[in-house]
Amino acid sequence: MRRKNQQMGLRVAVLFILVLLLPTVTAQDPPVEDDDKGCIAYAYTESENHYFLIKDNSSVFGNSLKIVHNCKELEVYADGFFSASSRQNFTLSLEPGLHQITLMGDGFNETFNDVMFYPDRLNWEFDFIALEESKPQFIDVEISELRTNWAVGVGIVVVWVLTTYVYWSLISSYIDRNFIEEVTQ
């Protein structure tokens, strides 16, 4: 029994020493929010459920440029001309074509060169649906080639007949003018 008590005392002592040797954990304060953390902005377009982030030499679909930022105020220049300014996220309409977009605000300055804007996909989708509903009748390739061959053959015959007739008329008029016929009675 004495041995059990010694082992138990030894276990408690080892446990107490281990607890003392464990490093103490101190909690840190949360990071301090810096009000002047800088300005970040980006721009994108969308077409149906597809989103296109603009960058240099990119192609995007959609007519409206959506600008998201955390700046106090952001200015947008399109092709070197002032287009818009806002303190909140906003949307800017642009014509399809090649543009240079500049975003400026609170020390943030980003220029995107040669951004090609294509019209929204819905513009051609409605034309395609209208074409499908009208059900136009197209000519088969074989029929088209057959008609082309017939037209060429008939054209050759017509040209041959016309040239033969013209040459015959010229020869007949030459003979009639230059030869004298003798009439006997």
Question: How many CB atoms within 10 Å of residue 116?
Answer: 14
CA-closest candidate to residue 67, choices 33, 110, 113, 97 = 110
Measured in residues, the chain has a length of 185
Do the beta carbons of residue 73 and residue 106 sit within 8 Å? yes
118 and 146 belong to one structural domain = no
For residue 75, the domain's CATH number is 2.60.40
120 and 149 belong to one structural domain = no
- The answer to whether residue 1 is domain-embedded is no
Task: Report the pLDDT value the prediction gives residue 108, as an integer from 0 to 100.
Answer: 85
114 and 50 belong to one structural domain = yes
- The answer to whether residue 24 is domain-embedded is no
56/101 Cα distance (integer angstroms):
9
| Total number of domains in the chain | 2
- The answer to whether residue 130 is domain-embedded is no
- The answer to whether residue 101 is domain-embedded is yes
71/113 Cα distance (integer angstroms):
22
87 and 149 belong to one structural domain = no
Sheet harboring 59-61: ordered strands across?
59-61, 108-118, 97-105, 74-78, 81-86
49 and 113 belong to one structural domain = yes
* pLDDT tens, residue by residue, 143-175: 999 999 999 999 999 999 999 998 898 888 888
Tokens of residue 45, six digits: 């377009």
**pLDDT for 22 beyond 70:** no
- The answer to whether residue 147 is domain-embedded is yes
Average pLDDT, the chain: 83
Q: What is the dihedral of CA 53, 56, 59, 63, to 10 degrees?
A: 60
**pLDDT for 135 beyond 90:** no
78 and 114 belong to one structural domain = yes
Do the beta carbons of residue 47 and residue 59 sit within 8 Å? no
Percentage of the chain with pLDDT > 70? Answer: 81
Three-class secondary structure assignment of 79-97:
CCEEEEEECCCEEEECCCE
79/102 Cα distance (integer angstroms):
8
- The answer to whether residue 14 is domain-embedded is no
53 and 103 belong to one structural domain = yes
153 and 106 belong to one structural domain = no
- The answer to whether residue 5 is domain-embedded is no
97 and 56 belong to one structural domain = yes
* pLDDT tens, residue by residue, 65-95: 999 998 889 999 999 899 888 889 999 988 8
- The answer to whether residue 46 is domain-embedded is yes
Question: How many CB atoms within 10 Å of residue 75?
Answer: 15
pTM: 0.49
Pairing of strands 59-61, 108-118: parallel
Task: Report the pLDDT value the prediction gives residue 99, as an integer from 0 to 100.
Answer: 92
Query: What is the residue range of 93's domain?
Result: 41-124
Tokens of residue 21, six digits: 């040797």
92 and 146 belong to one structural domain = no
